[in-house]
Structure 1
Amino acid sequence: MEQTTKKRSIMDKFLDIIEKSGNKLPDPVVIFISLCAIILSASFIAGTMGVTAVNPADGKVVKAVNLLNAEGIARIISEAVTNFATFPPLGLVLVVMIGVGIGEKTGYFETLMKYTIEKTPKKIIIPIIIFVAIMGNAAGDAAPIVLPPIAALVFIKLGYHPIAGLVMAYAASLGGFSASLVIGMTDALMVSFTEPATKLIDGSVQVNAAMNYYFLCASTVLLLFVAWYITTKITIPRFGSYKEGSTVEDAGVTEKERKAMIVANLSLLAIMALFAFLAIPENGLLRNAETGSLIQDSPLMKGIVPLITVLFLVPGIVYGIMAGTMRSSKKFAEMLADSMSSMGSFIVIVFFAAQMLAFFTWSNLGTILAIKGAELLEGQNGFILIIGILILSAGINMLMGSASAKWAILAPILIPMMMLLGFHPAFTQVIYRVGDSITNPITPMMPYMPLLLSFAQKYQKDIGLGTLIAALMPYSIGFAIFWTLLLLGWFYFGLPVGPGGPIHLGG
């Protein structure tokens, strides 16, 4: 390990350049303000030049609209608040955070992760940690924050270097960010950007939060084995054994926390059973009253956000009461306020993202770019399209950490473009999600990277960011190779990526 930290590899030096370049980028708020200015300027140029395109979907001529004339400026001013208030991700994220915030603040998520690891046999502890890390993304920010230090303590007990545990848990939770066996906040957030982008071309095409579910379930299993192999064959041998002893107190789950967790889990099962009771019968309340569908225009899909909120909120409250971490209604309110306060920067970003999307729509630039892009890509096979979008998403992720912020930019371009080529928005969305996830472990723009470094310095004071990124790199490479192969295979066999999510329009 000492040789690794002293002698820097070519890969370490390359990643240091990326880190320095990434740190020079402005804050995401400034990026969106700049994009607004660019779109307005582009609308002026395109509108003045009379740029047009023929929509192959209906044969109509689409004209670029100048937003910097008197009429456009008046619209920008008068509809700014409406753009912000009606922007789908705003309400979605804030509502889900009610449940996620309580589950996190009461300690329910942390106890659940600790207990799962403590009670797992040694032979399967590594894959279980990886599985918990991937699935932990359903709990918001809990997995990349809580799990790495717990994994480090477990690795010490196993006789491995704790930093290997930190790296593995961090890579699994962020590299497998989109993979899951349950529909979570990310699914609902992604579709909130996909839906308005879909309407740019065809408002009759239906999208839903579960439309990537089949592919992401398969991805969870695949990534678990890939991460397991990399950990045992590369990460653990790289760091070797740890002889200095832990500098962090090994605090396990107390009896009180265990009992509280059991009751909270029972409440979670009860809520899931209630949802199943309302969804499974043919006349279930969560089905479409006219067609009986669980997917198309059903209360289940339209109400997925509050349902997810309840799924997290109830066990969080039960755990807080039983464990004594939430002793009063005042404490409950404080926890909600704390969880919402962390969303301040997101709310600011959303304001400018909402204006950007509105400008893009009003100017018709998104539709024109999609049509022109489709013309350039006409005749290309699906494999080239898939790999191109993957590379684009993964590359942008190295410079911009927020998945929702990137999708807010890319969805209005990629979704219409791919629709014009005959691909369903569900498939385009899943391509983006794979590309966005694979470089998550190594991007210096991820806000959890400094936290991981501070964890690692508890065990090795002189460790540098380059050492961490070099250790994380095999996970990104492995995920990129095997996840891409899975995606290409899925496309080749024409399998639906989820309920209501065919690969092709009309499929």
Structure 2
Amino acid sequence: MEDRGWFTRFLDTVEWLGNLLPHPVTLFAILCVLMILISGVVGFFDLSVEDPRPGAVGEIQANSLLNGDGLRWLVENLVSNFVGFAPLGVVLVALLGVGVADKSGLLSAVIRSIVMKAPPKLIVAALVFSGIISNTASEMGYVVLIPLAGLIFLGLGRHPLAGMAAAFAGVSGGYSANLLLGTIDPLLAGITQEAAQLIDESYRVDATANYFFMIISTFVITAVGTFVTVKIVEPKLGEYDPSNASEDLSDETSLDPITPEERRGMKWAGIAALGMLGLFALSVVPEWGVLRHPETGEVAHSPFLNGIVALIFAFFLVPGVVFGVVTGQMRNDQDVVNAMASAMSTLGLYIVLVFFAAQFVSIFGETNLGRILAVMGANGLQNIGLTGPLVFLFFILMCGMVNLSLGSASAQWAVTAPIFVPMLMLIGYSPEVIQAAYRIGDSTTNIITPMMSYFGLIMAFMVKYDRNTGIGTIIAMMLPFSIFFLISWITLFFVWVFLLGMPVGPGAPTYYDIGAATGS
């Protein structure tokens, strides 16, 4: 019998525990009911804490929803909780533009062009880098890039699983690095803002909150992913034996090469994209830029940053339409509308999830339990002296562990943000920095958890080349990426934020002044 080490048994336990969890939608519904019941208990015992904000008078009192007033609040606010949930609208708007760029074939053509034109010595770096960029439209990275990586490595006489591992590491392990803003950025920013407003009702978190850190992370993760692939994963896999394939690979060729029409389309789409960037720059770079703050004239908290989702929409829409028209994929306005409708049709499950997540976040806020737990947690950290930057090390590791069982980034953050964002704000750190730290933990363990929604798809792709591939095979292959990503990303975080004092995003502070909080 195969000797199973302690780490393999540990991963088996994690998988078993994760399988016991219900669907995220059901989980949020259960959490809503539990929160209402808990609010009744703490309300009965008059749980409260002293309000730590300067100038605040009195205590933060737990609010029971298990009474007549609570029932009336639930009934009256069910719809407004949903439609007023910050991440909902921004994701829908951003995806309208991204959907057009995706359905026209522009995103696929760009990714294939990057990978196929890369010199053999740089192919691994190109795969990891392309995987990171494809996060803008994550499904495209999983569905197109990862199988493409296997085909390219097979054609180069290298182990196809190594190429797929490199692409998988970029797409999923590097989920929070990018040169572009995608739909996940406004989604997480919206959840962070909702959590921050438990402490400061006026606090705003822009979709660009982590943009600077995302950019530098892109190059770090690309370098680390390339190193792990070439020095660890590929040597461990050894020479590929085609007899292990589950199907005949004799006629296997790389995915569709770039056609002349696609090259022409990318040329004109690139011109359109440069034109859009020029217009954006004209609106914000000059002192008279129309999208600067109308009163202060600054970029911070300006319409440019506050409305970045509208700019994401336009940036992907226009080049996407241009590419579609040039290549013949879009012949009239109906095709553009259909592309938008197709993008919206993929969000059915997301909208259902958001409905219950929004109810949970609103219920959690109405009960005041988020504020109370934040104050208690902050007091506990202060009592043990853990208020310095080291607190983020434990926070990142905790997020990574939670992600092993709750693979959805938005679902995990919707549960944890209302507790940890206020808690870390109370000891002096900004929501933007807290969100950046969360994203490190969330991304680095995506590639080693069977709970990740695309894990089964990745296994199906890999079985094609090796019939013996199983969950343990993938986890063992991806674990080095996870470890090296985690170490390098944590190091980058501390160096970037605390050693160099660099902001994680435009106008994003590192520290939060509790004295600036207003309201309760």
Residue aligning to 2:327? 323
CA deviations on 1:363-382 (whole Å, 9 max, x unpaired) are 11110010000011112142
Task: Please show how residues 42-57 of structure 1 align to structure 2 within 5 Å.
Answer: 42-57=38-53
Q: Give the equivalent residue in structure 1 for 2:374.
A: 370
Deviations along 1:354-409, whole A, 9 cap, x unmatched? 11111111111110010000011112142441122112211111111211111111
Contact 2:90 2:309 (C-alpha < 8 Å) held by counterparts:
yes
Deviations 1:446-479 (A, max 9, x none): 1111111111122122321211111011100111
Deviating 4+ runs (over 6 angstroms):
none
Q: Which residue of 2 aligns with 1:3?
A: none
Aligned to 2:184: 186
Q: What is the aligned counterpart of 2:348 among 344, 347, 356?
A: 344
The yes-or-no answer on 1:264 pairing with 2:269 is yes
Q: 1:312 aligns with which of 304, 309, 316?
A: 316
In 2, the alpha carbon distance for the partners of 1:372 and 1:10 equals: 36
Matched, 1:99 2:105: no
Q: What secondary structure does 1:441 align onto?
A: helix
Structure 1 residue 304 displacement after superposition:
0.8
Of the three residues 397, 403, 415, the one matched with 1:409 is: 415
The residue identity in structure 2 corresponding to 1:153 is: L
State the Cα distance separating 1:13 from its structure 2 match. 4.3
Q: Which residue pairs with 2:518 in the alignment? A: none
Secondary structure at the aligned position of 1:53 is classed as: strand
In the TM superposition, 1:387-426 aligns within 5 A as 387-426=393-432
Aligned 8 A contact 2:387 2:427 in 1: no
| Residue type at the aligned position of 1:130 | V
Query: 1:342: how far off?
Result: 1.1
Check the 8 A contact 1:207/1:500 in 2, yes or no.
no
Question: Of residues 424, 439, 447 in structure 2, which corresponds to 1:441?
Answer: 447
The code of the aligned residue for 2:345 comes to S
Q: Is the Cα contact below 8 Å between 1:247 and 1:459 reproduced in 2?
A: no
Whole-Å Cα distance in 2 between the matches of residues 247 and 82 of structure 1? 56
Distance in 2 of aligned mates of 1:56 and 1:490: 30
- Relative to structure 1, is the Cα distance of residues 24 and 258 closer, same or farther in structure 2, using a 3 angstrom cutoff? same
Post-superposition shift, 1:9?
5.6
Find the aligned partners of 1:171 and 1:506 in 2 and give their Cα distance: 37
Cα distance in 2 between the residues matched to 1:435 and 1:158? 34
Shift of 1:331: 3.0
Count of paired positions = 502
Identity across the alignment (%): 40
Corresponding position: 1:473 with 2:479: yes
1:375 is aligned with what amino acid?
N
- What is the deviation of 1:207? 2.7
- The structure-2 alpha-carbon separation of the partners of 1:506 and 1:126, relative to structure 1 and needing over 3 Å to count, comes to same
Q: Is the 8 A contact 1:95 1:305 kept in 2?
A: yes
Given residue 86 of structure 2, which amino acid in structure 1 is its aligned partner? P
The 1-side partners of 2:468 and 2:421 are apart by 46
- SS in structure 2 at match of 1:370: helix
- Hey, what's the Cα distance between the residues in 2 that align with 1:349 and 1:205? 25
The letter for the 2-side match of 1:14 is F
Displacement after TM superposition at 1:106 (Å): 1.8
Q: Which residue pairs with 1:37 in the alignment?
A: 33
Q: 1:353 aligns with which of 357, 382, 406?
A: 357
Query: Which residues of structure 1 form unaligned runs of 5+?
Result: 1-5
CA contact (8 A) 1:67 1:363 kept: yes
Question: 5 Å matches for 1:35-434?
Answer: 35-58=31-54, 59-60=56-57, 61-244=59-242, 245=249, 248-250=252-254, 251-296=256-301, 298-378=302-382, 379-434=385-440
- Tell me the distance in 2 between the aligned counterparts of 1:269 and 1:8: 55
- Equivalent-residue separation in structure 2 for 1:390 and 1:112 (angstroms): 33
**Take 1:452 and 1:118, find their aligned partners in 2: how far apart are those partners?**
21
Q: 1:330 to 1:206 in 2, by over 3 A?
A: closer
How far does the alpha carbon of each residue in 1:135-162 deviate from its partner, in whole angstroms, 9 at most, with x for none? 2212342222221111112212332111
Say which SS state the counterpart of residue 283 (structure 1) adopts: coil
In the alignment, residue 338 of structure 1 is paired with which amino acid? S
Q: Which moved more, 1:497-506 or 1:158-167?
A: 497-506
2:355 maps to amino acid? F
**Helix, strand or coil for the counterpart of 1:500?**
coil
Q: Deviations over 1:418-472 (max 9, x none)?
A: 1110111111111111111110111111111111111112212232121111101
Moved more, 222-231 or 200-209: 200-209
Change (3 A) 1:302 1:420: same
The SS at the match of 1:463 is: coil
